[in-house]
């Protein structure tokens, strides 16, 4: 089974999804991520889905779950790089990813997390 | 015209006129067209044959027929077949008559009918041509530009009626531009949209939510008073989506949001507020 790598940049964790996600790899990713957030003391998580071309309700829910999970661990999640086609599909599916912050690309995602942290003080 | 040819012509017109009912029934049977439609054609054709052979009326009727059939999706062959089947119907009457004059006259009438058949074909293609031109114009309306107003701010001026197909195109184009230019603010200006119903509103909301999913904020501007009234009357909820009266207001808002200081933009609002003593 393929594992999604989790990269650390300062106190931000970057997850770039480059593979076709199946149910098992999604569950593994959620566990790995929760563990890494705690062990590294991360304050933010960026999920990069630039390479994801096809989404379904399962992946939509995965993003919401990860966001809710990391928030409980005091880390903010930003989903970046969503393709237009993916956004349209999610809207058509009726998923608005409530509670998930989004940014156009990785760079803006990092800026967004820094802003959020400076606002908290 | 020579004397025998004239006689032949007279004979065929006579048959054509005297045998009207059986002729029409047979014609309708062969062509499958309603008998009333054919009766008009028959009458116009008879008038033309008896008189000076001026086919203007017949052509007018046939033109109407082939245009309406073109719109209903009939093939040109179907329409021409209606005309050509008259030949078969007339020939049966000529055969029953059995005279050489009648046969000779039939050859003449046959040529005439051929011309009419070809005329329906021409009208058909003209009608189709018009349909294609109309559609090309409608397609042209579809092209909606996404314009850059400022660094990080793009706008879509929507003009014309919005339907699902068109909104889809606009939505895809806008979202793609957001990615390409890295813009975090988009203004959808609906000044040119004549009416907003629940469907159009739904499409607008979808676009805004999709842009939000990608990490961009959408502002809807150019809502005219009547449209605002309609939207409220219809009970459409715009939720937390930012709406502005004019494109200028929307631009000022987007600029402020992206950290650019706008001076003097708020002065337009001061006049609206009533002063209290």
Helix (H) or strand (E) holding B215: none
pLDDT of residue A6: 93
Task: Please name the residues in contact with B35: beta carbons below 8 A apart, sequence gap of 6 or more.
Answer: B24, B25, B28
Residue B276 lies in a domain: no
Residue B203 lies in a domain: yes
Beta bridge mates, A104: none
| Best mutation target, A46, A55, A81, A87, to test chain B (most B CBs within 10 A) | A87
Domain boundary among B72, B103, B138: B138
Measured between alpha carbons, how far is A119 from B15 in angstroms, rounded to an integer?
Answer: 99
Measured between alpha carbons, how far is A86 from A98 in angstroms, rounded to an integer?
Answer: 16
- Give the closest of B171, B212, B215 to A88, CB-based: B171
What average pLDDT does chain A have? 90
How large is the average pLDDT for residues B221-247?
A: 88
Name the minimum distance, in Å, from the CA of A91 to any CA of chain B: 6
Measured between alpha carbons, how far is A23 from A109 in angstroms, rounded to an integer?
Answer: 26
Are residue B128 and residue B192 in the same domain, yes or no? no
Alpha helices in B73-197 (DSSP H): 76-97, 100-142, 164-181
Q: How many CB pairs under 8 A join A and B?
A: 58
Number of independent structural domains in chain B: 2
Are residue B159 and residue B127 in the same domain, yes or no? no
Residue A82 lies in a domain: yes
> Domain range holding A84?
6-120
pLDDT of residue B4: 60
Are residue B112 and residue B9 in the same domain, yes or no? yes
Q: Residue B178: list chain A partners with CB under 8 A.
A: 84, 104
Task: Please name the residues in contact with B188: beta carbons below 8 A apart, sequence gap of 6 or more.
Answer: B155, B156, B158, B174, B204, B207, B208, B218, B219, B220, B221
pLDDT of residue A109: 93
Instruction: Give the CB-side neighbour count of residue B245, counting CA atoms within 13 A.
Output: 5
Domain boundary among B138, B160, B195: B138
How large is the average pLDDT for residues B2-8?
A: 67
- With 70 as the cut, is the pLDDT of residue A99 above it? yes
Beta bridge mates, B153: B150, B185
pLDDT of residue B24: 84
> Domain range holding B179?
147-270
Name the minimum distance, in Å, from the CA of B171 to any CA of chain A: 8
- With 90 as the cut, is the pLDDT of residue A82 above it? yes
- With 90 as the cut, is the pLDDT of residue B264 above it? no
Q: Residue A79: list chain B partners with CB under 8 A.
A: 215
Are residue B120 and residue B30 in the same domain, yes or no? yes
Beta strands in chain B (DSSP E): 147-150, 153-159, 185-192, 217-221, 242-244
- With 90 as the cut, is the pLDDT of residue A46 above it? yes
Are residue B113 and residue B160 in the same domain, yes or no? no
Enter the ipTM: 0.81
Residue B53's region, left for phi above 0, alpha for psi from -120 to 50, else beta, is: left
Are residue B7 and residue B119 in the same domain, yes or no? yes
- Give the closest of B179, B182, B209 to A84, CB-based: B179
| Best mutation target, B210, B211, B257, to test chain A (most A CBs within 10 A) | B210
Among all residues of chain B, which has the CA nearest to that of A99? B213
Number of independent structural domains in chain A: 1
Residue B21 lies in a domain: yes
Are residue B190 and residue B159 in the same domain, yes or no? yes
Proportion of chain B in helix, strand, coil states, percent, rounded to 5 = 65, 10, 25
Measured between alpha carbons, how far is B1 from B10 in angstroms, rounded to an integer?
Answer: 12
Instruction: Look at residues A1, A69, A10 and name the one whose alpha carbon lies nearest to residue A35.
Output: A69
Instruction: For residue B45, give the CATH number of its domain.
Output: 1.10.490
Q: Residue A77: list chain B partners with CB under 8 A.
A: none
Are residue B15 and residue B83 in the same domain, yes or no? yes
Measured between alpha carbons, how far is B49 from B55 in angstroms, rounded to an integer?
Answer: 8
Pairwise pLDDT comparison (A77 vs A20), residue with the higher score: A77
């Amino acid at each position: 089974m393929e594992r999604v790598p989790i990269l650390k940049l300062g106190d931000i964790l970057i997850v770039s999804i480059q593979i076709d996600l199946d149910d098992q790899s999604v569950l593994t990713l959620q566990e790995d991520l929760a563990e890494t957030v705690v062990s590294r003391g991360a304050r933010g998580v960026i999920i990069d889905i630039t390479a994801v071309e096809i989404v379904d309700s399962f992946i939509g829910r995965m993003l919401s779950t990860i966001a809710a999970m990391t928030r409980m661990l005091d880390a903010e999640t930003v989903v970046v790089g969503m393709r237009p086609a993916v956004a349209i599909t999610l809207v058509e599916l009726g998923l608005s990813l409530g509670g998930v912050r989004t940014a156009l690309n990785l760079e803006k995602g990092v800026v967004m997390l820094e802003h959020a942290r400076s606002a908290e003080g | 015209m020579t004397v025998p040819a004239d006689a032949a012509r007279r004979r065929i017109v006579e048959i054509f006129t005297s045998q009207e009912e059986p002729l029409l029934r047979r014609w309708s049977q062969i062509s499958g067209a309603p008998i009333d439609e054919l009766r008009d054609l028959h009458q116009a054709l008879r008038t033309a044959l008896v008189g000076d052979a001026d086919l203007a009326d017949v052509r007018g009727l046939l033109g109407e027929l082939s245009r309406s059939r073109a719109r209903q999706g009939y093939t040109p062959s179907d329409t021409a077949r209606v005309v050509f089947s008259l030949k078969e119907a007339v020939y049966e009457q000529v055969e029953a008559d059995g005279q050489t004059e009648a046969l000779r006259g039939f050859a003449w009438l046959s040529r005439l009918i051929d011309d009419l058949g070809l005329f329906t074909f021409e009208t058909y293609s003209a009608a189709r041509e018009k349909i294609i031109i109309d559609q090309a114009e409608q397609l042209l309306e579809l092209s909606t530009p996404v314009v850059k107003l400022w660094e990080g701010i793009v706008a879509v001026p929507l003009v014309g009626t919005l339907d699902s197909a068109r909104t889809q195109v606009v939505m895809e184009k806008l979202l793609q531009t957001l990615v390409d230019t890295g813009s975090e603010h988009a203004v959808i200006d609906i000044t040119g949209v004549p009416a907003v119903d629940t469907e159009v509103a739904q499409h607008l909301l979808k676009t805004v939510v999709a842009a939000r999913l990608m990490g961009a904020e959408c502002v809807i501007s150019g809502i005219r008073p009547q449209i605002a009234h309609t939207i409220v009357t219809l009970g459409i909820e715009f939720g937390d989506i930012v709406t502005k009266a004019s494109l200028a207001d929307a631009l000022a808002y987007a600029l402020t949001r992206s950290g650019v200081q706008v001076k003097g933009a708020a002065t337009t609002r001061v006049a609206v507020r009533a002063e209290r003593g």
